[in-house]
Amino acid sequence: MRICITGHLGFVGTETKKYFEKQGLEVFGYDIMENGNDIRDIKHFEDFVVENKIDRILHLAAIARFADADKDQLLASETNVEGTKNIALVAGKHKIPVVYASTGSVYMPIKGVPPITEEFPAVGNSEYGTDKRKGELYIQKFAHPWIILRYAHLYGKEKRYHGLIGGFLARIEKGIAPTLYGGKQSNDFTYIKDIARANYLAITASWDKWNQIFNIGTGEELSAEAAGDLICSKTGYKGKIERQEMRGVDPERFVFDCSKADRMLGFKAEYTFEKGLDDMFKEGEKL
**3-state DSSP call for residue 167?**
helix
Q: What pLDDT band is residue 160 in, cutting at 50, 70 and 90?
A: low
Tell me the β-bridge partners of 6. Answer: 30, 59
Average pLDDT over the chain reads 95
Domain residue spans in the chain?
2-280
The pLDDT, as a whole number, for residue 163 is: 82
Pick the CATH number of 2-280 from 3.30.1360.170, 3.40.50.720, 3.30.420.40, 3.40.640.10: 3.40.50.720
Torsion-angle region of residue 209: left (phi > 0), alpha (psi -120 to 50) or beta? alpha
Q: What is the dihedral of CA 199, 203, 204, 206, to 10 degrees?
A: 120
Q: How far is CA 263 from the centre of its chain?
A: 21
Q: What is the pLDDT of residues 33-70, one digit of tens each?
A: 998 899 999 999 999 999 999 999 999 999 998 899 99
| Alpha carbon distance, N-terminus to C-terminus of the chain | 39
Measured torsion, CA atoms of residues 131, 106, 139, 85, in degrees rounded to the nearest 10: 0
Tens-place pLDDT, residues 246-268: 987 789 999 999 999 999 999 99
pLDDT recorded at residue 162: 72
Residue 29's SS3 state is strand
